[in-house]
Amino acid sequence: MIEPTYAIEAQEEFLYPGHLACQGCGSTIAIRYVLKALGKNTVVVIPACCWSIIAGLFPSSCLGVPLVHTAFETAAVAATGVRAALDIQGKEGVNVLAWAGDGGTFDIGFQALSGAAERNEDILYCCYDNEAYMNTGIQRSSATPVGAWTTTTPKGGLEDRPKKDIVRIMAAHNIPYAATANVAFPDDLYRKAKKAASIKGMKFIHILSPCPTGWRIPSSESVEVARLATLSNLFPLYEVENGSKVIVNYFPPKKVPVAQYLESQGRFHLVSDEQKKQIQRNVDAYWGGLMKEVKKK
């Protein structure tokens, strides 16, 4: 038998076509599989981000589950409010999903996120990370990687600060579950969302989500570029349980140089060879660190 490539059991769709995402948007693929894993009994909370628009203009919604739009800084705490209301109304078995971009997670929404994590609120917080403030026209965020062009890190001053390690920061709150995921590995994302839904307490999934518009790639290459990030170890797939137990989920079968990932995108076109070598060293060091962690279980 020739089997489908990706084993994803749930068939029902909770994302409807007609949404307003750009062609090739990674975040729509991401939410599709998270919602499949969570199912119909889910309330989604979305702060200001691309998804405020993608979700559709009044009077239409592109999701098959209830959705609360909330202010920019507040995804995590609005999700908290939703959970509190559901609990006090005795509505059990409902998933609460905060669905935020990198701006609303790493930067302006960070306080609320940290607060919710510290309180161990029973929510799943997913950050679909397109590595800049894309909704407002591609300005840098603290999730923008070294070497990337954005409108606020332009030709003369490419991003030079390393990306915040958001998963480690969340793990440092000792929440039950933190993980990375990648739209190019939908079965892994699906499994992680399902696993998260079975855990009570705060869950955080950091999803690499390419933006063809901001990354300067053809819309058709969205998934491929995301894949290269993981194949080159720049974006490893791993989980952290209860703040300290690290599980690496994917070991690339052969080493792909980071340069291949960088050269696939227009936003990195000004990165020098020297910088590429440094980025490779950084990637190797981080991956090496992860390997040490999983061996010292």
Residue with smaller CB distance to another protein, 212 or 214: 212
C-alpha–C-alpha distance, residues 102 and 145, integer Å: 12
Q: Applying CB under 8 A, does 70 fall inside the site for another protein? A: yes
Residue that has been written with the tokens 């991401």 in this structure: 30
Given candidates 37, 73, 124, 171, which one binds another protein under the rule CB under 8 A? 73
C-alpha–C-alpha distance, residues 127 and 102, integer Å: 6
Q: Applying CB under 8 A, does 136 fall inside the site for another protein? A: no
Given candidates 140, 163, 192, 227, which one binds another protein under the rule CB under 8 A? 227
Q: Applying CB under 8 A, does 80 fall inside the site for another protein? A: yes
Q: Contact, 187 vs 194, CB < 8 A?
A: no
Q: Applying CB under 8 A, does 1 fall inside the site for another protein? A: yes
Q: Applying CB under 8 A, does 74 fall inside the site for another protein? A: yes
Letters for 172-211 (x = contact with another protein by CB under 8 A, - = none) are: --------------x-------------------------
Cis preceding-peptide flag for 252 (omega within 30 of 0): no
Q: Contact, 238 vs 246, CB < 8 A?
A: yes
Residue with smaller CB distance to another protein, 147 or 210: 210
Spell out a b/e string for 179-189, using b for 16 or more CB atoms within 10 Å of the CB, else e.
bbbbbbbbebb
Cis preceding-peptide flag for 212 (omega within 30 of 0): no
Q: Applying CB under 8 A, does 62 fall inside the site for another protein? A: yes
DSSP conformational letter for 26: H
Q: Applying CB under 8 A, does 289 fall inside the site for another protein? A: no
Given candidates 88, 156, 273, 295, which one binds another protein under the rule CB under 8 A? 88
User: In the bound complex, what is the minimum distance in angstroms from residue 289's beta carbon to another protein?
Assistant: 26
Q: Applying CB under 8 A, does 107 fall inside the site for another protein? A: no
Using CB under 8 A, which residues numbered 13 to 42 contact another protein? 13, 15-21, 23-26, 28-29, 32, 40-41
Instruction: Give the closest residue to 27 by CA, choosing from 15, 45, 41, 38.
Output: 15
Residue 191 has φ and ψ, to the nearest 5°, of -60, -40
Residue with smaller CB distance to another protein, 92 or 273: 92
Q: Which amino acid is present at 64?
A: G
Using CB under 8 A, which residues numbered 242 to 271 contact another protein? 253-254
